[in-house]
Structures are given as C-alpha cells and as structure tokens.
Amino acid sequence: MFAVSHDAELGLMQSMVTITANDSSPEMLAAIRRGPFAQPTDEEFFEYLLNKKRSDQKCPAFENYSLEHVLSFQRRVNAIKTNFMKRNEKTPLGHIRDWWDRTEAQMRAALHAHILCW
C-alpha cells in the first residue's frame, strides 16, 4: 500500500480505512432473507452485533449468494465514500484531499477494501 502513495505525488498518506463485509453483515442477512436489494432492518443491525458464527457451520452462508455478497459490499463501499470521503470538505475523517482504494478477497472469503486517504 505504501508503494502507491509515493511522496512525490501527494505526500505520505494520512490514514487508511478498511471496509469489510462478511456473511453476518446486516446487508448480507437482508439479502439472503429477502433478496438482492433488501435493506437491513433495525433487528438485523443488532443481530449483526450480537451473534456469533456457529461452530458447526462449515462454509459461510454467502458462498451460496455470491452476487448478493458483491452487491452489498459495493453498496457499503459507495455509502462510505459518499458520506465520509467528500474531497475538500470537512468529514468525520477530517479534510480529505484525495483517496485511493483497492478491493481484495481474503482467504476467509470476505471482501475487503483498503482506502488510503490524504
């Protein structure tokens, strides 16, 4: 990640934001239960915070819902960028001049994005 943030361009990055989505995220719970574009309910937001994965579960539930997983992850990343990373405006992350991101799939099958901020 440091290789893409060469000092000569924007200087050293000021922060890095990591966004992830796994099979127990509220968006995935909603998509699996009600379809690809379902919005999470308040109960699903709390369920996400309070539940643990069962030890007898062999594969994450979203492996059977790959389209829904990618869509919900991309919606989450877009919402973060839209609401928290407005260029040249004051945001909860400070004044963001620019950002660069990279999305990867981890070995545990959870998509995640690393976003460098200047």
Distance CA 15, CA 96 (A): 10
0.85 exceeded by the pTM? no
Reported as a single tens digit per residue, the pLDDT across 33-74 is 888 788 889 998 888 788 766 666 665 566 778 888 888 888
Beta bridge partners of 111: 21, 105
pLDDT digits (tens, 9 = 90+) for 9-31: 667 777 888 888 777 788 888 88
pLDDT (mean) for 91-107: 84
